[in-house]
Structure 1
Amino acid sequence: MPDIFLSYVREDKDQAQRLAQALERQGWCVFWDRSSIHIGEALDEVIENAIAQCRCMIVGWSRLANKSDWVWGEANTGRERRILLPLKFEAVEPPIVFRRIRTEDFCNWRGEEASSEFQALCKSVRRLLGEPAQFSPPAADLAKAVETSPPLIQANRLVTEPEMIVIPAGSFAMGGDQYDNEKPIHTVTFAKPFKLGKYPVTFDEYDVFAEQTGLAKPDDEGLGRGRRPVINASWQDAITYAAWLRETTGQPYRLPSEAEWEYACRAGSRGEFFWGDDASLAKHYAWFDQNAASITHEVGLKRANPFGLHDMAGNVWEWLQDGWLEYYQGAPNDGSAWIGGDGALRMLRGGSWFNKPDNLRSAYRSAGTAGFRSGLIGFRLAQDLP
């Protein structure tokens, strides 16, 4: 049974090996080298068992480790069990959710066991494990795997980035003529492409964020979680999730602007809906009051629009960056978010499982207060491109 589980990325293997060997010379059993797992053993089971059995979790943070779902998952388990001892293998700040835990600087450590940083680490290990037994560890049998390759299962929920679709640069006529707040129809031009989530953010994705930050999970109202779109997330919740995902992955996640959303939804169409003007075809593309059975549904079950985006109509309303603008007079023409207007109200688009076909129209607009939560409302994310 290992005393210590060492988590790192393969690019930091040399530093991890020096550390594991130094700890083993102190008398502790360290689980670190997956190459010693025997042929026929299930790698994920071996790693899961080692994590369950260890009484000390050491993580080596570096630029690449900060972006690794596997290191994040393993470190989060150590944090939850209060056995995490974080180190810096490179001069980078740990991910934001781990910064409240003191991290020892091992950037310049080259295996010196008399060094202050290694002695400080050993002191912390002893606090968790007590004095090591005096033995000479059999190298292959005691060195066991964590080079952060396969995903950890269930207990270690890992960050999953939303699947993104590149939306090409171009121009379109934004707005409609059925309601005053859709007017005037005006031209918006996108000088460069951007990315938009292929699906709304799901409970699977959002629940990891809640688990890793300690925030409350949204109520699913008995409709189901998993790959269903997250609901009961306010505009502020969506902004916080996007900021956490930016910090976690290094990718520029954010909420889309209203212009980006309508441009991506229409995907070149000028009809009432992205599939044309025939509302009777909505059943092929959207979950709404006539076919949803009063519940949300897993994302991606209905046909995509021409850009490959699913659930742009129905299932859940989607929060956008913009404040409420009663008319389009003076709205930006470059696709950016409207930062004026009523900042207390934030834009919603797309309609939901509860709504009639009129609310699924590409130009239809609604809004809610930034703190409002509802079983009808979710969101999807966007990204800037260089």
Structure 2
Amino acid sequence: MKMQRLLGSLICCSFLAAGATAADPVPPLDLPESQANSAAEMKPYEEVIEHTDATIEMLPIPGGVFTMGTPDTEQGRDDSEGPLHQVEVSPFWMGKYEITWEQYEIWGDELDTIRRRLLKSKETPRDAVVDGFTRPTEPYTDMTFGMGSGRHPAICMTQHAARTYCQWLSAKTGRYYRLPTEAEWEYACRAGTNTAYSFGDDPEMLDDYAWYGENTNDQYEPVGQKKPNPWGLYDMHGNVSEWVLDQYLPDFFKTSAKLNPLAIPKVLFPRVVRGGGWDNDPELLRSGARIASSEEWKEQDPQLPQSIWYHTDALSVGFRIVRPLTVPSEKERAEFWENTQPEQLDPPEGE
């Protein structure tokens, strides 16, 4: 089974590298609203996860230039949030909500494949790729920790798991999905604002926009229950922190690129999550706040070696997805967007 999954992953990567065009042997799922040749043509759409009832709502985010980072005077600011600098990001779609358990477990538990076979549904061109795709090993405990599944945000995954989910979704749909960069995430969170939060500077207003340490019952909540930011994105502040692609470098803003910057990961820890979660104080929910992952997020994992898929102690860490308007080439993916070290592999069976 592991060999089958590895082969499926390799096939999937070959398909993804080819891009999604009308000439592909494995065409994208036909969704007219998802098609655009320019930023002006981008529309909201619902991505369909075939053989399930689940969809993922995607919103267009216009490209543009913004001031990334936080001023010295911002309450709760950390030195790693500076200096203020101008960054340009290219257009992309972003998930309206954080990825939920009902969307995430389809991949982890192979629910799409199981349902297709039970219902004897016709196999699509994409199913041959997805059936052999790499999926996480069985968790040793309930990763919801009794806080709720369904429309609640998926939690406790490593950045590797979130990245692999995006690769699976790309193969499943024929459209290229990935995690956002830190710059894309902050740009989308700010939504044209330059205040501490997308709604202003007053943390007293957080109750209207976020689930966090002062208004939760020690757990996360279903997505989309609070007010959205100005671009219609929900839970950008609070509920769960969200993985981005970047390595956490305290001084990255001093030397980062001006166009689509990315700190390509070279080590497992620390990496960046953004937005703050249900167990955080207001200062970690700011638009410019940066949170570094830690080996302590695996503290309760009794497995040796510890899992490449789960952060058992990251109960307020999840993710949301993006889809760039311009699909990168195979070389660009290998050298930039998909580049991450060290390689993550499950131990051989029996170990």
Q: TM-score range by the shorter chain?
A: 0.5 to 0.7
- Counterparts of 1:63 and 1:279, CA distance in 2: 48
- Give the residue type in structure 2 aligned to 1:228: H
Task: Please name the residue that 1:280 is paired with.
Answer: 204
Among candidates 181, 186, 206, match of residue 104 of structure 2: 206
Q: Does 1:235 align with 2:159?
A: yes
Task: Please name the residue that 1:385 is paired with.
Answer: 325
Among candidates 310, 326, 346, match of residue 250 of structure 2: 326
Give the fraction of aligned pairs with identical amino acids, expressed as a percent: 37
Q: Does 1:360 align with 2:278?
A: no
- Counterparts of 2:237 and 2:183, CA distance in 1: 16
Q: Per-residue displacement from partner, 1:302-352 (whole Å, max 9, x unpaired)?
A: 000001000000000101100111121111221232226755321111000
Q: Per-residue displacement from partner, 1:53-112 (whole Å, max 9, x unpaired)?
A: xxxxxxxxx846x849xxxxxxxxxxxxxxxxxxxxxxxxxxxxxxxxxxxxxxxxxxxx
Any idea what SS the aligned residue of 1:321 has? Answer: strand
TM-score by length of 1: 0.58
Matches within 5 A, 1:1-386: 63=26, 67=29, 158=52, 160-176=54-70, 177=72, 178-190=77-89, 192-212=90-110, 215=136, 216=138, 219-327=143-251, 328-339=253-264, 344-369=269-294, 371=308, 372-373=311-312, 374-386=314-326
- Counterparts of 1:331 and 1:159, CA distance in 2: 41
**Structure 2 contact 182–245 (Cα < 8 Å) conserved:** yes
**Structure 2 contact 265–271 (Cα < 8 Å) conserved:** no
**Structure 2 contact 210–237 (Cα < 8 Å) conserved:** yes
- Give the alignment's Cα RMSD to 1 decimal: 2.5
- Counterparts of 1:379 and 1:224, CA distance in 2: 17
Shift in CA distance, 303/245, structure 1 to aligned 2, threshold 3 Å: same
- Counterparts of 1:279 and 1:290, CA distance in 2: 11
Higher relative contact order (CA 8 A, sep 6+): 2
Deviation of 1:202 after TM superposition, in Å, equals 0.2
**Structure 1 contact 317–376 (Cα < 8 Å) conserved:** yes
Any idea what SS the aligned residue of 1:188 has? Answer: strand
- Counterparts of 1:210 and 1:330, CA distance in 2: 38
Q: What is the total number of aligned residue pairs between the two structures?
A: 239
Range 205-214 or range 226-235, more displaced: 205-214
- Counterparts of 2:62 and 2:234, CA distance in 1: 17
Shift in CA distance, 311/349, structure 1 to aligned 2, threshold 3 Å: same
- Counterparts of 1:222 and 1:157, CA distance in 2: 27
Gaps of 5+ in 1: 1-61, 69-150
**Structure 1 contact 196–380 (Cα < 8 Å) conserved:** yes
Gaps of 5+ in 2: 1-24, 31-47, 111-132, 296-307, 327-351
Deviation of 1:163 after TM superposition, in Å, equals 1.0
**Structure 2 contact 61–92 (Cα < 8 Å) conserved:** yes
- Counterparts of 2:57 and 2:186, CA distance in 1: 19
Deviation of 1:169 after TM superposition, in Å, equals 1.4
Deviation of 1:219 after TM superposition, in Å, equals 0.9
TM-score by length of 2: 0.63
Higher strand proportion (structure 1 or 2): 1
Flag the structure with larger Rg.
1
Any idea what SS the aligned residue of 1:208 has? Answer: helix
**Structure 2 contact 155–316 (Cα < 8 Å) conserved:** yes
Any idea what SS the aligned residue of 1:344 has? Answer: coil
- Counterparts of 1:333 and 1:188, CA distance in 2: 5
Which aligned runs of 4 or more in structure 1 are off by greater than 6 angstroms?
A: none
